Structure 1
């Protein structure tokens, strides 16, 4: 079959600037391309050629100048010039109408990585028209699938959950030469590391983690928070929230390292220097992919019970769930419990690695996705 994977206008594939969707596409490509001809349609990037081919995979990169609507027009114009058996559209239901007209006869699949069909994002009447055109909808979590099915029960039969995955070779337990070099450079030798990886955004809750660390330091003054991430992928620019976070972190002195943006091909080294991982989602997170990376690296996870996070973190098995999600006190208590108990950290971390090996490799993701694409 000839398959087109249509990425969003935000970030390029492969994930040279990061991005969960871009990482997902790059992860499944080696498996999809052994059975079909695959073209990835994405946005241009200074680091990447506009067109390139590698075996059965072709990348076509189009300008995102002018915003999503202009980008969607360019995608449709490209698709109209060739014949397609399947087109999968990632997280942009508004593109579906154009693509249906550009690729008549193709099987149409929508991959939902956020609640893009919610009424606050898309008029329900338009959402129903889009769903009627689709052959299948892949949701990144049960949370996204169930919330979509509740809104549009007549289309529930088209929905399927396929959770994301992780590179189990790159993300693995134990230190690496790069992580040890980072540990020395950041001055972390001999100190327990509380790791957080995520954008500096209110919905990611970095301010809650910092407030929790104030309490953690009362009982574990040697602990240090390493926060990896910037306001937006590929940049270290600031806004009022970033400035507030930096001010909040400065009050904790040597107990915080705000690392900033790290290219995705380097981020595994940070996971491999952590002693535990913290995710403090303050919004209804679809299911943050950092959970898979932390599990693969054998880190016990502390995460808020928001959105889809609890689908892969079972309280007391591979991590600790924080309730209420906005409570710095509850978050601190969970972090302190893990810092207090090395055996608990090892047990939860080992369970997480087993879960990753059993169900979160890219081969599993690709196998399930192929079942949808092949109909």
Structure 2
């Protein structure tokens, strides 16, 4: 007897900040939605500014962007702006602005409240709601409006909070960081009540239980990865001698760029080398900028932004080495993408990076986080040994193809959706009047 395939799902995928150029959450939404649609599902990506960038899909499913605008208080051309009076549409807008003006980060809370109102007025539209790490109060209680909820937590933002407070240089700066990260209290309270959580690594699963209080049994690991059709090696692209490439935010201590700058200075004492950073340069008074000046590297480090997907892939293909210097990562998409191009990788052992990069000497060269000397030694070893570069690059690509693809991530995520639906979450509301939204 032929097995009957389950019907395609109607998915509401929420992302309060979905532009892939703003970070890994946007990359996640873009690639996961595409692969879910290729499986036949219908995905509405519901997002706020900066809006997600989505790919076109030619059936059998579909992807659609549903704009759920906020006040866009951190837009690139006018950060921390004061909106015009006619931009305020109601209490949520007033709350969002007030939190920003007092030094907090309001987007997760404000977006969650708008998303709840949006969903509660759309009974029967979606089979499941998938929250991409909003973890806002507004998403609690969606079951009584008829919606099972699955939540992705890439890693607890409490880790970022701790590292940024530790890196603060003055008492005032520390107070500012504490206020900015005040939303993590809300995220802890929400996460502790969730029954269906997806995360991207075993390391993140342990951190979620420890930092957010989510029951370990409620958390499923679904590794993500690279779009291996795009991120691939090419014999047509020549390697540039001495080129090292990293994707990093200079303003985020977690990313460890300052240690890579110091490592480059050490590498250059014995050989020619230069670093290309995919990301914005730091402010003039930042530690990365200071390190570049201290080591006299102004002509040997280049920051690039606004690259297209194709340009970014070509850049990695042209490098003799890629580097992930982060102190901690919940997964590390840059590691997976670099490995997918067969570019040999030097990576720290911070957080979940070893789960992605693999064993030292097999598919990468691994070093302790925050150790500029170890980074320099590993990079120098790679730059001096063409055979090692070729072997690690090939092994890295094989590892990604076997473990870390978006197609596999979509299959496993859809399984978690069906598991959440099967528990009966939202069933009572879907069969009665309980769906009606109560403000």
TM-score by length of 1: 0.82
Partner of 1:310: 354
Q: Structure 2 vs 1, CA of residues 111 and 305 (structure 1 numbering), >3 Å: closer, same or farther?
A: same
Partner of 1:114: 155
Instruction: For 1:264 and 1:27, locate their aligned partners in 2 and report how far apart those are by CA, in whole Å.
Output: 12
Q: Report the aligned-residue RMSD.
A: 3.0
Q: TM (normalized to structure 2)?
A: 0.71
The answer for the alignment partner of 2:392 in structure 1 is 348
- Pairing of 1:318-337 with structure 2 (within 5 A): 318-323=363-368, 325-337=369-381
Distance 2:42 2:229 in 1: 26
Distance across 2 between alignment mates of 1:263 and 1:272: 14
Pairing partner for 2:130 from 88, 103, 106: 88
Structural mapping, 1:1-375, within 5 Å = 1-8=9-16, 10-12=17-19, 15=20, 17-33=21-37, 34-45=39-50, 56-65=62-71, 66=96, 67-68=106-107, 69-82=109-122, 83=124, 84-95=126-137, 97-98=138-139, 100-101=141-142, 104-116=145-157, 127=188, 130-132=191-193, 134-150=194-210, 155-174=215-234, 191-201=241-251, 202-220=253-271, 222-230=272-280, 238=283, 240-241=285-286, 243-244=289-290, 247-248=293-294, 251-264=296-309, 266-282=311-327, 284-313=328-357, 314-323=359-368, 325-375=369-419
Count, aligned residues: 347
Provide structure 1 residue ranges, at least 5 long, that are not aligned to the other structure.
Answer: 232-236
CA drift of 1:135 comes to 3.2
Say if 1:368 and 1:273 are closer, same or farther in 2 by CA, change over 3 A.
same
Residue 306 of structure 1: CA displacement?
A: 0.7
Larger radius of gyration: 2
Greater share of strand residues, 1 or 2? 1
CA contact (8 A) 2:192 2:214 kept: no
Deviates more, 1:24-33 or 1:149-158: 149-158
Q: 1:333 to 1:45 in 2, by over 3 A?
A: closer
8 Å contact from structure 1 (residues 168, 361) kept in 2: yes
Task: Structure 2: give runs of 5+ residues left out of the alignment.
Answer: 1-8, 72-95, 97-105, 163-180, 420-439
Q: Distance in 2 between matches of 1:146 and 1:48?
A: 31
Deviation at 1:295, TM superposition (A): 0.7
